[in-house]
Amino acid sequence: MPDLYAGAVRRVINPPLGIRTFGFSSREGLVQSIESDLTATALVLSDGRTKVVIVATDTGWMDLPVMNGLRERVAEAVGTVSSHVMVNLNHTHSSPAMPEWFPDEPGQNALQSRYQEDLCGWITEAAREADERKVAARIGAGRGDCRIGVYRRETDPDGEVFLGEVPGHPTDPSVGVLRVDDLEGRPIATVFSYGCHPVTVGPRSMVASPDFPGAARDLVEHAMGGLSLFLQGCGGNIMPRGGLSMEADCRDEKDRIGATLGAEVVKTAAAIHTHRQRGERQRMGSLSRITVWPWEPVRGETCTRLAAADESLSLGFIDLPPLDEARAIRTECHEARDRVRAQGGEVWEMLVTTRFADWSDRLVEAVETGGASIDVVVQAIRINDIVLAANSTETFFETGLAIKAGSPFPQTLAMGYTNGCVCYLPRAEDFPAGGWDIRKRWYGVPDLLFQAYSMPTAIHPESEQRVVDATLALIEGLR
């Protein structure tokens, strides 16, 4: 049987000051400082025949075609195929915007384009160096429990859903933890996954920040050694307890939330033994009735299976409006934007009306061309009897639970925000009972505001089930 080899490398990916951030339309300003380093960390695993790359980045959003190109670059750099490259975005709302996200002014677009190209280069370099640093390794897995997340789809007395907190609502508190060690049990990398929006650094804080995942990583690395990779799970409808921080300096709350998560990761990782195990019970001496279980070295295969697969799904939209209605909506949106420009409105007004004007252009284009679908990538990686299952949407925690429940592997990490982030993925039951209304502004519940992703209409309510089914089929194929 082949042996497992692993290497991990990190790159700092801080943006230039003055760049716009992704994540809050109400943030009225550009990045003024770096709160703490944004990073990209690459973990390369190989059995001598197959090679997979797992990259964790402090990035909020990246376009699917750009991510497809990045995965090709990384694959070529390390000598594998793009289906074996997984790039997870931690979705911090204090990360730089990308040029495809928003129709910005030329100077900003140029700044964002340069940063995006630098980012792709840094990630590729980190993967190449991690591949070069591989050493013989073992991997183990565990699962912790952390309660920093709270369900955010609150309902008012009239039955309208809005962004709030529902403390008694179920969530998925599990923290998936992987420990990749050298043969002496020293950590090369600690991988951990949890689903929760990184928004403790709120819209009044004009900084770039990895948010609470960065604070969690710092604690894990200080306690365990090696590098740590945070993989954003299925946090599309989960907020950190306390919600958005509204202070200009949000470090206290960010560090508290991060420490709570990091401490659970340390507790879980410390209980994973990759290089030794309990042996058979023995007596301490011939006259003593005290018994012990001595530690014995782990022997045998370090890699029984290493494989990966991905698939691109085309998800359909609900019915598009008639062309005359779409054009009328476009006229309304463009007039609203032009009115704010002429009146010198607030920054947030300019951002919102510009977004809706861009969306209305895409709505008319979709009606005129009949373009009524969007691509989503699903992926699965198997390492021994551990599976990482991911897709390129803002996935709800219930979807993650469904994937883990349907997986035949006891250690399955389910993630969204991977290899791109094309839209929210609400389940059929998360759509409003009366249907999604194209003329309603779903500001109160962002996962129904498909205009924020410049999608012409809402995705079809059956889309989530298709993603679940495709993901489980990939996992089954790896079995």
Task: Dump the DSSP string for 382-416.
Answer: EETTEEEEEESSEE-HHHHHHHHHH-SSSEEEEES
Nearest 5°: phi and psi at 387?
A: -125, 135
The pLDDT score that the predictor gives to residue 475 is 98
The pLDDT score that the predictor gives to residue 415 is 98
The pLDDT score that the predictor gives to residue 305 is 96
What is the C-alpha to C-alpha distance for residues 302 and 48, in angstroms, rounded to an integer? Answer: 12
What is the C-alpha to C-alpha distance for residues 451 and 442, in angstroms, rounded to an integer? Answer: 9
Cβ distance 191 to 43 under 8 Å?
A: yes
The pLDDT score that the predictor gives to residue 177 is 98
What is the C-alpha to C-alpha distance for residues 267 and 184, in angstroms, rounded to an integer? Answer: 20
The pLDDT score that the predictor gives to residue 1 is 55
Q: Is 135 helix (H, G, I), strand (E, B) or coil?
A: strand
What is the C-alpha to C-alpha distance for residues 48 and 174, in angstroms, rounded to an integer? Answer: 32
The pLDDT score that the predictor gives to residue 244 is 82
Nearest 5°: phi and psi at 335?
A: -65, -40
Cβ distance 6 to 43 under 8 Å?
A: yes
277: tokens are: 């195990």
Strand 39-46 with 161-166, pairing: unpaired
What is the C-alpha to C-alpha distance for residues 316 and 376, in angstroms, rounded to an integer? Answer: 11
116 CB-contact burial (10 Å; exposed 0-12 / middle 13-18 / buried 19+):
buried
b/e per residue 42-63 (b: at least 16 CB within 10 A): bbbbbbeebbbbbbbbbbbbbb
With a cut of 70, which residues of the chain have pLDDT below it? 1, 286-287
What is the C-alpha to C-alpha distance for residues 211 and 93, in angstroms, rounded to an integer? Answer: 8
Cβ distance 449 to 356 under 8 Å?
A: no
| Alpha helical stretches, state H, 312-346 | 323-343
